[in-house]
Structure 1
Amino acid sequence: MKILDRYILTSFLKTFFSVFIILMFIFVLQTIWLYIGELAGKDLDVEVILKFLLYFSPKLVPLVLPLTILVSSIMVFGAFAENYEFAAMKSSGISLQRAMRGLTVFIVFVSLVAYFFANNVIPAAEFKSINLRKNIAQLKPAMAITEGVFNDLGDFNIKVAKKSGENDRYLTDVIIHKKSPNGGNHTVIKAKSGELAGSTNSDVLSLILNEGNYYDEIMQSDYSKRARKPFMKSYFDEYVINIDLSNFNNVDLEDESYSNTDGMLKASELRESIDSFSVAYNTRMDQFRENMYSRSGLRTITRNFKPKDTTVAIGNSVLDQFNAYDGAQIANLALGTINSAKAHLSMKKQEFKNSTKQLNKFEIALHEKYVLSIACIVLFFVGAPLGAIIRKGGMGLPMVVAIVLFLTYHFIGIFAKNSAEDGSISPFVATWLSTWIMLPLGIFLTYRATTDQGLFIFGDISDAFRRLFKKGKFGKSKSDSE
Structure 2
Amino acid sequence: MKKVHVLVLKAFFKPFIVTFFIVMFVLLMLFLFKYIDDLIGKGFEWYVILELLWYASAAQISMAMPLAMLLSSIMTFGNLGESYELVAIKAAGISLRKAMMPLIILVSLISIGSFFFSDYILPVTNLKMGSLLYDVRNKKADFLIKDGIFNNSIPGYSIRAKNKSKDGTVLYNLIIYQHGNISRGTNVLLAKEGVMYNSRDNNYMILKLKDGVRYEETTAGDRSYNPRQQFTRYYFDQTEQKFDMSTFQMKRTDEDLFKSHSMMLNLKQLRYYTDSTTKILDSIRGKIFNEIKSNYKIFNSYQAAQNKPVEAAGALKNYNKSFEEIIPVDKRVVAVNNSLNDIRYIKEVLDMKAKSDKDFDLSIVRYILEYHKKFTLAVSCLLLFSIGAPLGAIIRKGGLGLPVVMAIIFFLIYHIISTVAEKSAKEGNIDPVLGTWTAIIALTPLGIFLTYKAATDSSIFDIESYKLAINRFFGKMGELFKKRFGRKQHS
Smaller-chain TM-score bracket: 0.7 to 0.9
Deviations 1:158-195 (CA, angstroms, capped at 9, x unpaired): xxxxxxxxxxxxxxxxxxxxxxxxxxxxxxxxxxxxxx
Q: Match of 1:335?
A: 340
Specify every segment of 5 or more residues in structure 1 that has no aligned partner in the other structure, as ranges: 144-152, 156-198, 205-233, 235-243
Indicate conservation of the 8 Å contact 2:79/2:399, yes or no: yes
CA distance in 2: counterparts of 1:464 and 1:200, whole angstroms: 85
1:256 to 2:265 alignment: no
Residue 283 of structure 2 aligns to a residue whose secondary structure is: helix
Shift of 1:139: 2.7
Residue 387 of structure 1 aligns to a residue whose secondary structure is: helix
Quickly say closer, same or farther: Cα 1:416–1:112, change in 2 above 3 A. Answer: same
1:100 to 2:110 alignment: no
Quickly say closer, same or farther: Cα 1:255–1:356, change in 2 above 3 A. Answer: closer
Quickly say closer, same or farther: Cα 1:6–1:430, change in 2 above 3 A. Answer: same
Quickly say closer, same or farther: Cα 1:323–1:263, change in 2 above 3 A. Answer: same
Shift of 1:142: 9.5
Q: Match of 1:396?
A: 401
Q: For 1:17-36, what aligned pairs fall within 5 Å after superposition?
A: 17-36=17-36
Shift of 1:271: 1.0
RMSD: 3.1
Q: Match of 1:445?
A: 450
Indicate conservation of the 8 Å contact 1:138/1:249, yes or no: no
1:419 to 401, 424, 438: 424
CA distance in 2: counterparts of 1:401 and 1:257, whole angstroms: 43
Q: Match of 1:463?
A: 472
Indicate conservation of the 8 Å contact 1:308/1:322, yes or no: no
Shift of 1:314: 2.4
CA distance in 2: counterparts of 1:22 and 1:50, whole angstroms: 18
Residue 60 of structure 2 aligns to a residue whose secondary structure is: helix
Residue 457 of structure 2 aligns to a residue whose secondary structure is: coil
* Percentage of identical aligned residues: 31
Greater radius of gyration (CA): 2
Indicate conservation of the 8 Å contact 2:421/2:436, yes or no: yes
Indicate conservation of the 8 Å contact 1:58/1:125, yes or no: yes
Q: Match of 2:236?
A: none
Deviations 1:404-453 (CA, angstroms, capped at 9, x unpaired): 11001001100110110021101100110001111100000011110111
Q: Match of 2:130?
A: 130
Report the AA paired with residue 333 of structure 2: A
1:367 to 2:378 alignment: no
Quickly say closer, same or farther: Cα 1:393–1:42, change in 2 above 3 A. Answer: same
Number of aligned residues: 387
Shift of 1:16: 0.2
Indicate conservation of the 8 Å contact 1:138/1:248, yes or no: no
CA distance in 2: counterparts of 1:339 and 1:479, whole angstroms: 83
Indicate conservation of the 8 Å contact 2:387/2:447, yes or no: yes
CA distance in 1: counterparts of 2:89 and 2:62, whole angstroms: 34
1:352 to 335, 357, 380: 357
Report the AA paired with residue 396 of structure 1: G
Q: Match of 1:225?
A: none
Shift of 1:316: 4.1
Q: What is the TM-score when the length of structure 2 is the normalising length?
A: 0.72
CA distance in 2: counterparts of 1:21 and 1:405, whole angstroms: 20
Shift of 1:462: 4.8
CA distance in 2: counterparts of 1:428 and 1:200, whole angstroms: 58
Q: For 1:175-194, what aligned pairs fall within 5 Å after superposition?
A: none
Specify every segment of 5 or more residues in structure 2 that has no aligned partner in the other structure, as ranges: 144-152, 156-195, 206-222, 224-242
Q: Match of 1:10?
A: 10
CA distance in 2: counterparts of 1:36 and 1:344, whole angstroms: 44
Q: Match of 2:218?
A: none
Indicate conservation of the 8 Å contact 1:115/1:370, yes or no: yes
Quickly say closer, same or farther: Cα 1:470–1:200, change in 2 above 3 A. Answer: farther
Which deviates the most, 379-388 or 324-333? 324-333
CA distance in 1: counterparts of 2:362 and 2:115, whole angstroms: 25
